[in-house]
Chains A and B, each alone.
Chain A
Amino acid sequence: MKISRRRILAVGSAGLVVTLLPLPASAATEADELIARFTDGATPGEGPLTITAPQIAENGNAVGVEVECPGAKSIRILAPANPNPEVCTVHFGPLAGSHRLSTRIRMAETMDVIALAEMEDGSFVQASARVRVTIGGCGG
């Protein structure tokens, strides 16, 4: 069969519609919905929040993650693709020497780990880090 240019375009654009439409829409809203649960619907901005994690984690059972945000009341860590996406929330008290925390988290698969900080004025700041996970760490 001779494949015409028109045919290639038709098949190609059909493929685009199928692959593009459902995937990014659902992936984006899931993380956004998760975040909205903690911000009372407010969209977090950008700020002095940093999240540090390895680019590649061979073992998802314990992945070192560090979050820091000067001026934050609390920082939450989220692993959106985990069965339990919430990881932990740290509240800084009067004797906190910095607004920094380092810990180890579980990751079921490759994903963007999200840090969400609540600032002194009640606003929210978000940052994320992509971690490629070779072996997932959530059992199941």
Chain B
Amino acid sequence: MDTIDARPRVRVPRTASPGEVVQIRTLANHPMENGERLDADGNRVPRHIIHRFVCTFNDETVIEMDIEPSLAANPFIEFEAEVPESGTFHFAWHDDNGDVYEATADIEVA
């Protein structure tokens, strides 16, 4: 399967107060080929998607998501996290081809 330049992007506030719930938005570039489409020659284009997304904060899980081919291309995921202390969000998008696209974001909690 092709290598994809997913350029994952995340939007996380830079600061928060202890225990605050912050909104997180993520977007990755990916065609999310669902295995149903036919190419110009009438051949089925094989499935190639991001099948899993994980967000952690200081190694504790915020959300885990199992993804199927019916999610739209360029997956957009918005959710909320609770931040007990300063630290780092880690984001990982797992591609069918074995690649893992990663992003991190620091937040200062005071």
Contact = CB atoms under 8 A, between A and B. Distances in A.
Interface residues of A, number: 32
B66 A96 contact: no
Interface residues of B, number: 35
Interface in A66-114: 79, 82-98, 100-106
A102 B63 CA distance: 12
B82 A95 contact: yes
> Is chain B's binding surface mostly helix, strand, loop or mixed?
strand
Contacts of A90: 63-65, 79
A120 to B, nearest CB: 16
Contacts of A139: 34, 36-38
B63 A93 contact: yes
B70 interface: yes
B70 A85 contact: yes
Interface of B: 21-23, 34-38, 56-57, 60-84
